[in-house]
Amino acid sequence: MNFDLNTEQKMLKDSARNFFSREADKEFIREMENDEKGYSQKMWKKMARLGWMGLLVPEKYNGEEMGFLDMTVLLEEMGYACLPGPFFSTAVLSVITLLESANEKQKKRLLPKIADGSQIITLGWIEESGTYSGKGISAKAELKDDNYIISGTKLFVPDANTADKIIVAARTDNSPEDPDEGISLFVVDLKGDLKGDLKGDTNNKSINIEALKTIRSDKLCEVTFKNTIVPKDNMLGEPGKGWETLNKVLLKAAVAKCAEMSGGAKRVLEMVVEYAKMRHQFGRPIGSFQAIQTGAAC
Amino acid sequence: MDFAFTDEENRIISEIREFIEKESTPEMLEETHKLERIYGGKLGREFIKKFASNGWLCPSWPEEYGGINSSAMLTYMIKNEMAYSGIPALFVGAHMAGPTIMEFADEKMKEKFLLPIAKGDLEFSLGYSEPGAGSDLLSLEMRAEDKGGHYLVNGQKTFNTHAHVADYHWLAVRTDPDAAKHKGISILIVDFKTPGITIRPMITIVGSRTNEVYYDNVKVSKDCLVGEENKGFNYIMEALDYERMFPFAHYRKVFENIVEYAKEKIVHGEPLSKKPLVRQKLAQLEIELEASELLYYNLAHVLDNGKVPNYQASMEKTFVCELDQKISAVGMEIMGQYGQLSKGSKWAPFDGEMEYYYKWSIVETIYGGTTEVQKNIMAQRGLGLPRV
């Protein structure tokens, strides 16, 4: 077992630490809380130039083709910086979903645009039950000629307010024996102004996006589809096998989230220790009291 | 030993319940919520004046000062009812300054303040903490110089919560900088309209407002001195004990809402309340709520026996605030994705109450002395362990 970062990982960590300390100070993060988009496009482009959006994307789709472990190094730094924005939904959730399920043609069209920072893509799976399970999915996708017609409501969709596309989980079979069966994944265009891109669906008036206010002012949305027409070529993977894909995504996303949170926790502990050394009461730094020491150490 | 309330106590509580039901308006409750239940808002004042005309604001006070000579027990029942119902529940005048004035001030000051406090006409703001004096209150530096007929006050206070809505400042100042730390502090009652006072907001994690207050050559008459000069620290200690006697029933209400949510929220064809994990967590909270009820009413019992609770107040405050955090955390877990939604979100249960109280319970644990400070008090005064 070796817990040391390799040279490449060290470089990634250092460059991320430097970048965020320069570009994402406290004022910026507070500003983003109240910002409608919740991220800075200028910064997004810079992050793309550093290769971060395409970290998990294979080289043949213009990505960096680095490993998942490398991604956790970067995410830890993002947590450390308390970075707001659609990185997690685009470069983690969506990239993993696409790598697990998209066909060659779809990958070629979508992944390079994620890697170069020109497209934000999110994932809409949770519904009213609030659970990550096949049982919770009741949005419907019905095949009509060459299109699927999607109807249903997705909740807690991250960054849908700024995303160009959304990957949606919907039922193509309404009464399977196993509720994890019969779910399919579709790429749906949210902006509808990208000509020739996966035959972008242009009737996006059938989609309603409403941002939900949350405890940390991140951008979680309700996304409602009402007879949204999606070309059948936009289906990812085999029909009915969507949950199999999402199950894998869920496990990897959980690990990725842990990396982000452990970075955040590290920063909080640093702040606590710094304050305990600096703040004086009763004529000494409060960090000299055992109650504070055991609290900080446990 | 008798754990039941008397018929008379129960009768008055149901009368109060009816009054609140009848007289409180959604606008007043909204204002009170925005003020974090502190007293001083316009609609809250209108309501409390009516409420107080029954002697319910300071019920244990003598009738000449606007009370009904009740037991501390009934007072505590009323305070808890107020916390439960969402009307103003945090009073500096009625709950902290008032009792201290009653005990230590001269007749003239009692005449001036006690009846108006009990009628709800006046509210105070505590003026203790300073940038360098938080838990270590003895280090406070705000200076009041004796200028013969008046004091000249200069300095800065922080975390003075009611200051922006109160009428008077219950101000701790240093009147003798050469004496031992605890022998040079006095309490002044200062009218906030006095020239030279500036109040600025400090905003907390939950968005609530507390204040920093600046004194710039403020002239304060010597009539405003509470009790004796340089004995202020004793008065503060006693008022702090009163501050720590926390009603807890606002979290009883939060808990009831969580239980209701668990019963009504159907997940995969079954209410959440059928899940063993959910049921066990809720049952545990009910145990602890009942324990906090006993700790709370024990304070009234001690008062009714002619003593001022001291480490017992710290015990109750710590237990209740830590429980508030637990209730909020369990609520967040049970509501899952929905728990994070704020007031105004379409899908937020109880209009975003969960995430609000999750943050508010942290604020509450800090003010009036943090858990760590309370535990030191319990160790030293309650258990007789040596000072560090």
> What is the C-alpha separation between B202 and A30, in angstroms, rounded?
16
Domain locations along chain B: 7-90, 125-230, 244-382
Reference B282, options B341, B338, B317, B326; nearest CA is: B326
Q: Is the pLDDT of residue B97 over 90?
A: yes
Helix axis angle for B311-335 and B353-366, nearest 10°, is 160
Q: For B332, name the nearest residue in chain A, comparing CA atoms only.
A: A215
Alpha-carbon distance A220 to nearest alpha carbon in chain B (angstroms): 9
Mean pLDDT of B66-71: 96
Would you place residue A259 in the very low, low, confident or very high pLDDT band (cuts 50, 70, 90)? very high
pLDDT of residue A204: 65
Could you report the per-residue pLDDT of A185-221, keeping only the tens digit for each?
Answer: 999 999 854 433 434 444 467 899 999 999 999 999 9
Mean pLDDT of B18-31: 97
For A127, the closest chain B residue by CA position comes to B337
Q: Does the distance separating the beta carbons of A280 and B342 come in below 8 Å?
A: no
Which residues of chain B have a CB within 8 Å of the CB of A215?
340-342, 355, 358-359
Q: Per-residue pLDDT for A182 more than 90?
A: yes
Q: What is the pLDDT of residue B2?
A: 86
**Considering only CB atoms, which chain B residues are within 8 Å of A212?**
341, 345-348
- Residues of B noted as catalytic: 243
Chain A nearest-CA residue for B346: A212
C-alpha–C-alpha distance, residues A159 and A146, integer Å? 29
Closest approach of chain B CAs to the CA of A198, in angstroms?
32
Residue pLDDT, tens place only, B102-152? 999 999 999 999 999 999 999 999 999 999 999 899 999 999 999 999 999
Give the helix ranges, DSSP H, for B206-248: 232-243
**Which of A222, A280, A281 is facing B346, going by the closest CB pair?**
A222
Same fold, B125-230 and B244-382: no
- What is the dihedral angle through the alpha carbons of B206, B207, B210, B214, rounded to the nearest 10 degrees? 140
pLDDT at residue B342 is higher than 50: yes
| Chain B residues in contact with chain A using a Cβ-Cβ cutoff of 8 Å | 132-136, 139, 267-268, 336-338, 340-348, 352, 355, 358-359, 372, 375-376, 388
Q: Are strands A165-171 and A121-124 parallel, antiparallel or unpaired?
A: parallel
Number of CB pairs < 8 Å for A and B?
Answer: 61
Is A132 within 8 Å of A154 (Cβ atoms)? no
**Best residue in B139, B205, B340, B358 to probe A by mutation, most A CBs within 10 Å?**
B340
Per-residue pLDDT averaged across A23-35, rounded? 94
Interchain CB distance below 8 Å, B341 and A129: no
Give backbone dihedrals phi and psi of A127, rounded to 5 degrees, phi first: -125, -155
Query: Going by DSSP bridges, is the β-strand pair B150-157/B143-146 parallel, antiparallel, or unpaired?
Result: antiparallel
pLDDT in tens, B250-267: 999 999 999 999 999 999
Chain A residues whose C-beta is within 8 A of a chain B C-beta are 126, 129-131, 133, 135-136, 155-156, 210, 212-216, 220, 222, 280-283, 286, 289, 291-292, 295
From A203's Cα to the closest Cα of chain B, the distance in A is 25
| Residue A212 to residue B347, Cβ atoms within 8 A | yes
Look at A215 and B347 and tell me if their CB atoms are within 8 Å: no
Closest CA to A48 of A67, A64, A26, A59: A64
The pLDDT of residue B354 is 96
Across chain B, what does the average pLDDT equal?
Answer: 95
Does the beta-carbon distance from A133 to B268 stay under 8 Å?
yes
Can you give the pLDDT at residue A202? 46
Binning pLDDT at 50, 70 and 90, where does residue B244 land?
Answer: confident
Homologous superfamily of domain range B125-230: Butyryl-CoA Dehydrogenase, subunit A, domain 2 (2.40.110.10)
Q: What's the one-letter identity of residue A245?
A: T
**B341·A130 Cβ contact <8 A:** no
Q: Which helix or strand (DSSP H or E) is residue B360 part of? A: helix B353-366
Is pLDDT at B99 greater than 50 in this prediction? yes
Q: Quote ipTM for the complex.
A: 0.89
HSE of B264, CA atoms in CB hemisphere, 13 A: 8
Calpha distance A91→A126 (Å, rounded): 19
What pLDDT score does B245 carry?
81
Read off the amino acid at residue A265.
A
Residues from chain A that touch B133, judged by Cβ atoms under 8 A, are 281
pLDDT tens sequence across B155-181: 999 999 999 999 999 999 999 999 999
Domain annotation for chain A: domains and CATH numbers = 7-264 (2.40.110.10), 265-297 (no CATH)
- Nearest 5°: the CA angle B182, B183, B189 is 90
**Displacement of CA B51 from its chain's centroid (Å):** 18
- pLDDT score for A195: 38
Tell me which fold the domain B244-382 belongs to.
Answer: Butyryl-CoA Dehydrogenase, subunit A; domain 3 (1.20.140)
Please provide residue A174's backbone torsions phi and psi, each rounded to the nearest 5 degrees: -80, -20
Each residue of A125-179: pLDDT tens digit?
Answer: 999 999 999 999 999 999 999 999 999 999 999 999 999 999 999 999 998 999 9
pLDDT at residue A197 in the model: 40
pLDDT of residue A193: 47
What are the strands, taking DSSP E only, across B80-167? 124-127, 143-146, 150-157
**Beta-carbon separation of B268 and A126 below 8 A:** no
Check CB contact under 8 Å for A130 and B337.
yes
Using a pLDDT cut of 70, give the percent of chain A over it.
Answer: 96
